[in-house]
Amino acid sequence: MSATPARQQAEVGAQAEDVIVLDPPVIEMRGVTRTFPGPPSVVALHPTDLLVEPGDYLSIVGPSGSGKSTLLNLLGLLDRPSAGEYFLDGEPSHEVSERRRTALRAGRIGFVFQAFHLLPHRTVLENVMLATMYAGIPRAERAGRAIAALERVHLANRLGFRPTTLSGGERQRVAVARAVATSPALLLADEPTGNLDSTTSGEVLDLFDELHGDGLTLAVITHDPQVAARAQRQVRITDGRLEVLR
């Protein structure tokens, strides 16, 4: 695979005697723009550059209508940019086929949504195993991967339960297990504490800290400044324009 623009810059900057082998950035957006044609046409995301390195924990904050969902859909390969380049884990997602984008989405991104999106008639273990199936993990490995992920979120004692019998915080932890069971390059969370009270929200955010400590790359979209403050890097989106806060 050819180097992404950020890695080409790193190579140019390195001294001849340096031997530097860097993993590609997890997210590298160059001039990514999203325009809805209308009429009237709306520029939901103005040309945006965003670099997220392996192991980063990034929060994206912004008020209602600022472009958070637009950015989430682009980051999660649920939508295509109107212009610009998006390298996900080194792969030029803006150039590849729809089929490859689907495979990238299932294999490289773990999603966590506000509303959990668990299947109510499947057990906790089955819910997590389904994600491993969509990611193309061999059948013989699926149960082991799912159980390991549920151990990671401290829910190994709930494997046979149905989601409807769990608390909100436990459901979200199942959703986090489902997201990490495929060993994604990126955990992408959309208002992950939006349906939780403050105590349970804290538990989910503690879990994100643990996963970050293990080296996972996280991007969390939220309107809640307290949730955003937990991340080591923060950007704000206002009227479709991204601004780095730290």
Ligand X SMILES: Nc1ncnc2c1ncn2[C@@H]1O[C@H](COP(=O)(O)OP(=O)(O)OP(=O)(O)O)[C@@H](O)[C@H]1O
Residues of this chain that bind ligand X (CB under 6 A): 36, 42, 44, 62, 64-70, 223
The distance of closest approach from Cβ of residue 191 to ligand X in the complex, given in angstroms and rounded to an integer, is 8
Angle between helices 124-134 and 168-180 (to 10 degrees): 30
The distance of closest approach from Cβ of residue 39 to ligand X in the complex, given in angstroms and rounded to an integer, is 10
The distance of closest approach from Cβ of residue 102 to ligand X in the complex, given in angstroms and rounded to an integer, is 21
d(CA 33, CA 164): 40
* Closest to ligand X by CB, 154 or 223: 223
The answer to whether 127 and 118 are in contact (CB under 8 A) is yes
The distance of closest approach from Cβ of residue 232 to ligand X in the complex, given in angstroms and rounded to an integer, is 22
Picking from 150, 234, 221, 223, the residue whose alpha carbon sits closest to that of residue 189 is 221
* Closest to ligand X by CB, 62 or 90: 62
What is residue 84's three-state secondary structure?
strand
Picking from 73, 186, 181, 201, the residue whose alpha carbon sits closest to that of residue 134 is 181
* Closest to ligand X by CB, 36 or 134: 36
> What sign does the dihedral 83-237-214-131 (CA atoms) show?
negative
The distance of closest approach from Cβ of residue 246 to ligand X in the complex, given in angstroms and rounded to an integer, is 20
Written as six digits, the tokens of 21 are 């082998």
d(CA 162, CA 174): 11
> H helices of the chain, where?
5-13, 68-75, 98-108, 124-134, 139-152, 168-180, 198-213, 225-229
* Closest to ligand X by CB, 153 or 221: 221
Written as six digits, the tokens of 151 are 């151990």
Written as six digits, the tokens of 72 are 């989430």
* Closest to ligand X by CB, 68 or 178: 68
The distance of closest approach from Cβ of residue 63 to ligand X in the complex, given in angstroms and rounded to an integer, is 7
* Closest to ligand X by CB, 44 or 220: 44
The distance of closest approach from Cβ of residue 193 to ligand X in the complex, given in angstroms and rounded to an integer, is 14
* Closest to ligand X by CB, 62 or 163: 62
